[in-house]
Structure 1
Amino acid sequence: MADNEMDYNIVFPDAGTSERHWQGTKEPVVILLGWAGCKDKHLSKYSSIYNQQGCVTIHFTAPLKTVFISESFGYKELSSTALKLLEILYDYEVENSPVFFHIFSNGGFMLYRYIVELLHSEEQFSSLCVIGAVVDSAPGSGNVRGALRALRATLGPKISPFLRYLLLALFAVTVFLLRIVLYPLTKYIHKNHYDAVQERPPAWPHLCVYSKNDQVIRHRDIELFVESLKQKGVPVDSFDFVSSPHVGHFRAFPEQYALKCRDFLLACMKRVEGTEMKKRHRLQNQ
């Protein structure tokens, strides 16, 4: 489904499926943020994991120009996109449901960064109950080679070889200068997604799934990110699929991947329910 400015898809489960899985409690809303160049048909395969659990799902992929151009030059265009995405929850009157994120690669994580910032700073979103996030093949930092591989895959075979190499060269020079050489200075104007979330992480649990075989995002970037969140007290777990390619873990290990996502979602829901029970118990004893 689309409006005038955003191209997204929202799927509601049938009432019977929701009741069977959630037994009278509000079903979670799962927001899937696609990788750069991702098609909705790709995200639909992932959303089926959650639709089968009786969840509402929202799919959205940030436009290529905002991921590869705006962010590279420090324009915070994705911030307004993040705002519109959160407002969809109110448009469909699901703002009182538990919210869960499933994020893919740096393209999804760049948008997630601005969502986190809005949830930290904007009063209008203070009532949203975010219960957790799965992070698939992200985040990565300062990897020009990986970024070039991602852009080359995104451009596809239809573009002329000359234009492809020209775009890749311009992108490489821009990223190298602004995001590596000059980053000690430019970070005071615009931090990258990796540093921004690491320095002020959200409190909800995270599950990071990755692979040492990933040729786009370095596994050590993800491992360092996980350790940083743990040191800040964020509940975080990780799983290395070892052999699968970038954002290819579900294709390589469909049953294992789906089980990990479902189990993590259920654990996040139980954690929230336990917190609510403790709050009610304290109120009753006051």
Structure 2
Amino acid sequence: MNCSFPNGLHLFSTHETNGGAIEQQLIPPRADMADDDIDYNIVFPDAVTSDRHWHGTKEPVVVLLGWAGCRDKHISKYSSIYNEQGCVTIRYTAPLKTVFISESFGYKELKKTALKLLEILYDYEVENSPVFFHVFSNGGFMLYRYVVELLHADEQFGSLRVVGAVVDSGPGSGNVRGATRALTATLGPNVSPVLRYVLLALFAVTVFLLRVVLYPLTKYIHKSHYDAVRERPPGWPHLCLYSRADQVIRHRDIEAFVESLRHKDVPVNSFDFASSPHVGHFRDFPEQYALKCRDFLLACMKDSEASEMKTRRRVQSQ
């Protein structure tokens, strides 16, 4: 089945997953079609599963923002945590060139992507549902940064109700070695040694100059994702999942980020898996990881509903 929506032509392949949920995948447009679409996947729960978990109320929409270089088959394993809870899920991973090149050189290309992701909620008419984010590494957090900024400043999205966010293996700040390791893993074994060396050298020099040496000046033009969210964080609760064994993102960066949110009275929890590698916590501790995500989502939903109830009572009493 194909579907189209008014904000541009979006074609989808639709099928039923093993759990009965309905999944739609964006079919990349032809050359003669609009070239500003983004490649994402959306999964709708079946009515029985949704009603069993949410008892007739609006089920959450969980937006998963993948790490640089991850494939949809990897991130879909995470979305299954929420699909089994009767949630709608949207999966998206930013292109490598955008994460490692555009953002490194200060081009805010991901801001346009963030806008399109939020517009998807209106395309599917789920803008009145609770929204929950699950963000992976710096690649996902870069995009999350622009989502947060749009929700702060754009009146169009003022009605969206974000209830919380899980941040997995991020964010990191000014870590040239970690960024180079991430790019090395992303390039994979198929890239020739010479090309690999050239790309890594250029990337390391660029990051070191723009994000370390010149950052006291360049931050006024393009602030890092780490500093942007830390200095003006959203008010919804966060859960940061990380590991001291992470060789890409320094654990002290994540711990400092958590503390900065606490100082600004943002509800935040964290958990150190201690031994798992970068974005490998779910692989090494699947049951514990899934339980933490589900429990946090439920806690966020309860807090949001309680807050909404207080607001209604206050309005009614006026």
Name the CA distance, whole Å, in 2 between partners of 1:42 and 1:212: 22
Of 77, 83, 87, the match for 1:55: 87
In structure 2, the residue matched to 1:267 is 299
Distance in 2 between residues matched to 1:282 and 1:65, nearest whole Å: 49
* Structure 1 residue identity aligned to 2:243: S
Higher helix proportion (structure 1 or 2): 1
Query: 1:107-156 CA deviation, whole Å, 9 max, x = no partner?
Result: 00000000000001101000000000000000000100000000000000
Partner of 2:131: 99
1:141 alignment partner, one of 169, 173, 177: 173
Structure-2 residue corresponding to 1:40 = 72
Q: Matched residues, percent identical? A: 81
Which one of 275, 278, 288 corresponds to residue 256 of structure 1?
288
> Offset of 1:283 from its aligned partner?
3.0
1:214-233, aligned counterparts within 5 Å? 214-233=246-265
1:22-64 CA deviation, whole Å, 9 max, x = no partner? Answer: 0011000000000000100001100000000000000000000
Q: What pairs up with 1:56-205 in 2 under 5 angstroms? A: 56-205=88-237
Matched length: 286
The whole-number CA distance in structure 2 between the counterparts of 1:25 and 1:186 is 46
Question: Is 1:235 aligned to 2:286, yes or no?
Answer: no
Distance 1:159 1:206 in 2: 37
Q: Structure 2 CA distance, aligned partners of 1:81 and 1:27?
A: 24
- Matched residues in 2 for 1:94 and 1:281: separation? 25
SS in 2 for 1:245: coil
Tell me how far apart the structure 2 counterparts of residues 112 and 64 of structure 1 sit (CA, whole Å). 16
User: In the alignment, what sits opposite 2:245?
Assistant: 213
Per the normalisation by structure 2, the TM-score is 0.89
Partners of 1:34 and 1:87 lie apart in 2 by: 18
**Structure 2 unpaired stretches of 5+:** 1-24, 30-36
Shift of 1:279: 1.7
Higher relative contact order (CA 8 A, sep 6+): 1
